[in-house]
Amino acid sequence: MNEQTSTKVLSVFNTDQPEIEHFDVLIVGAGISGIGSAARLIRDCPWASFVMLDALDGHGGTWRSNSFPGARSDSDLFTYAYSFKPWEGPPIARRDAILQYLGDVIDDYDLQKHIRYGHKTLRAMWSSTHSCWFVSVQTDRQEVVTIKANFLWMCQGYYRHLEGYTPDWPGMSDFKGDIIHPQRWTKDYDYAGKQIVVIGSGATAATLVPALSEEAEHVVQLQRPPSYYFASPNEHPLATQLRQLDISKEWIHEILRQQLLKEHNAWVRHSLDNPEVAMKEMLDGVRSALGGALPDDFVPHYKPWQQRVCMIPDGDFFNAINSGKASVITGEIDRFTMNGVLLESGKLLEADLVVTATGFNVNAFGDIQITKDGAAFDMAQTITYRGLMFTDVPNLAWVAGYFRSAAYTVRAELVGDLVCRILNFMRSKGLKSVTPKLQDEDRSMKLGSVLDTEEWNPGFVTRGAELLPKSGNRDPWRHSQDYWADRDDFEALDLTREPLIFR
């Protein structure tokens, strides 16, 4: 990059500030990924100065932006919570409990002084001349400031928090009731006594239906394809037993964490290796939860774990159906009318409120414009390095967790450990940058989406596959969905033998 280009590029940043703040690490996002990554920095890189930026008005990320009725985890909290902070509640937890847990971690590690809420990251430009990122940030005062950082740690998730995916059905403007996407739910919205249609069949719909049915006149879940459900008591017998024996909460957390990781991995592997057997087992559970009947509305048309299985704590979803307060209908939407949703079958679902639990919009890098030495950079044309860095992009890590084999946070912690190892290695050698680079023998490998859409194909993945970085068909150029393999591989890595260019 010549001097003229450098000056032109940096002019879009507010470099005329009296003094641009400079940090070793800039973390984007104060949700479960960002908070966990910051705690790792405190523990493993105490020398590093860092700042956390979040566009929202408080911590939590998805748990702050999703305030719809009943919002809860769809992974058990022994594995979704951090390894270093014991979880003391029930396996499946509601939004408020998770926010409290994350707030406790912030207090434990004194992270509040590092976090700036209401700070939206707009642009990030890597300058090879300066060996750092220039990051343009809009503050809560609507000012645009520039922050310099040696390393950029993207922990903002993989979808737009405030803009969910809603198809454009004909007649939506004719509907005289309300249409709300769960990501746009307002806390003061009164749905008591309403006829409600929830469109969708995933975890959000399975959460909304029982929660809304407590006050609504009736709730209809309208789905195109049925999903797999797994109902179980929201209590783990071993955790209860160990707590009664006054075993330390740290031991209980680690024991349950390891047991549930292994059990979940075995369940997924069994489902993939024996799909017909696994399908029968899960449908037998649904039949039992429905009192012996198994309507076609509960028989999926795809193999188990091609999409996430909906966890149903204490059977609340089925309880709402069995009580008559809720029902499930499978069909295609023809159009909206003044009074509800008309199906292609000719059936009209009358409604006062329609909730579009139809998924979210993939947005891997938070709408942040990323450039390198003045050139716009299309991250979708890069290839992932072990699912956390990208070819030809210096000093940038991205957290995207597991979507099938384990809880999201488990991978976020593996990424955190590896990033801290890389940072400490660079510091010990006096190095300023690290960049994944394809080797000659890798240039002919087969490429696909960073998430394998043949094995894993929920709607958000198939809709957004082209927006995501590419994945190779072998290590280290793929985003593995195997926690146990990743754990062993990451621990054994010799950074001097990896396809990483240090400068």
The model's pLDDT over 174-218, given as tens digits with 9 standing for 90+, comes to 999 999 999 999 989 999 999 999 999 999 999 999 999 999 999
Residue 241, helix vs strand vs coil: helix
- What distance in Å separates the CA atoms of residue 236 and residue 231, rounded to the nearest whole number? 13
- The predicted-structure confidence for 413-434, as pLDDT tens digits, reads as follows 999 999 999 999 999 999 999 9
Q: Please state, rounded to an integer, the average pLDDT across all residues of the chain.
A: 92
The beta strand positions in 181-235, using DSSP E, are 195-199, 218-223, 229-232
pLDDT the model gives residue 460: 65
Give domain limits for the chain.
Answer: 3-161+362-502, 166-358
Same fold, 3-161+362-502 and 166-358: yes
CATH topology of domain 3-161+362-502: FAD/NAD(P)-binding domain (3.50.50)
Query: pLDDT tier at 17 (50, 70, 90 boundaries)?
Result: low
- Does residue 317 carry a pLDDT above 80? yes
Beta carbons of 433 and 367 less than 8 angstroms apart: no
How many residues in total does the chain contain?
503
CATH number of 166-358: 3.50.50.60
Provide the 8-state DSSP code for 94: B
Given CA atoms 250, 253, 256, 262 in this order, what sign does their dihedral have? negative
Pairing of strands 21-28, 144-154: parallel
